[in-house]
Chains A and B, each alone.
Chain A
Amino acid sequence: MTTTATPSERKIASVPPGLWRAATALLRKDFAHEVRTRQTVPAMALFSVTVFVLFHFGLARDTISGSLASGVLWVTLLLAAVVGVTRLFAAERDGGAGEGLLLAPIDRTAIYLAKASALLLYLALLEVVALPAFALLLAPGLGDGLPELIATLALADVGIAAIGALVAGLAAEARAREAIVPLMLLPLLVPVLIAAANASRPLLETHSHAAGLAKWLGLIGLYDVVFVLVSVALFDYLLED
Chain B
Amino acid sequence: MTRTRPHSRGLPLLSSATAATVVAALSLAFFYAPLDRDQGVIQKIFYIHVPLAIVSLCGFIAGGVMAIRHLRTGDRSWDMRSYVAIHLSIVFAVGTLVTGSIWAKASWGHWWVWSEPVLVSFLIVFLLYCCYQPLRFSIEDPERQARYASVFAVTAGAFVPVNFLAVRLATQHVHPRVLSQSGSLPGPMLLTFLVSLAGVALLWATLWKLELSLKSSRMSLKRLRARLEAPDEVEAPVPEVAVR
Residues of chain A touching chain B, judged by Cβ–Cβ distance below 8 Å, are 163, 166, 170-171, 173-176, 180, 183-184, 187-188, 190-191, 194-195, 198, 215-216, 219, 222-223, 226-227, 230-231, 234, 237-238, 240
Contact = CB atoms under 8 A, between A and B. Distances in A.
B151 A174 contact: no
A25 to B, nearest CB: 25
Name, among A170, A175, A226, the residue most crowded by chain B CB atoms within 10 Å (CB to CB): A170
B124 A180 contact: no
A195 B172 CA distance: 13
B42 interface: no
Q: Main SS of the interface on chain A?
A: helix
A157 to B, nearest CB: 17
Interface in B140-161: 144, 147-148, 150-152, 154-156, 158-159
Name, among A166, A173, A215, A240, the residue most crowded by chain B CB atoms within 10 Å (CB to CB): A173
Contacts, number: 90
Contacts of B131: 180, 183-184, 187
Contacts of A216: 169
B158 A194 contact: no
Interchain residue pairs A-B with the least CB separation, the first 7? A191-B166, A187-B128, A174-B138, A175-B138, A194-B166, A194-B170, A184-B131
Interface residues of B, number: 29
B185 interface: no
A184 to B, nearest CB: 5
Contacts of A240: 144, 147
Interface of B: 71, 124-125, 127-128, 130-131, 134-135, 138-139, 144, 147-148, 150-152, 154-156, 158-159, 162-163, 165-167, 169-170
A171 B148 CA distance: 9
Q: Main SS of the interface on chain B?
A: helix
A81 B128 CA distance: 17
Contact of A237 (B71, B127, B163, B165): B71
Contacts of B134: 176, 180, 183
A187 B127 contact: yes
Given A180-B135, A180-B138, A234 B167 contact: no
A159 to B, nearest CB: 10
A215 B147 contact: no
B139 A173 contact: yes
B158 A174 contact: no
B155 A166 contact: yes
Contacts of A175: 138-139
A227 B130 CA distance: 20
B128 A188 contact: yes
Name, among A163, A176, A231, A237, the residue most crowded by chain B CB atoms within 10 Å (CB to CB): A237
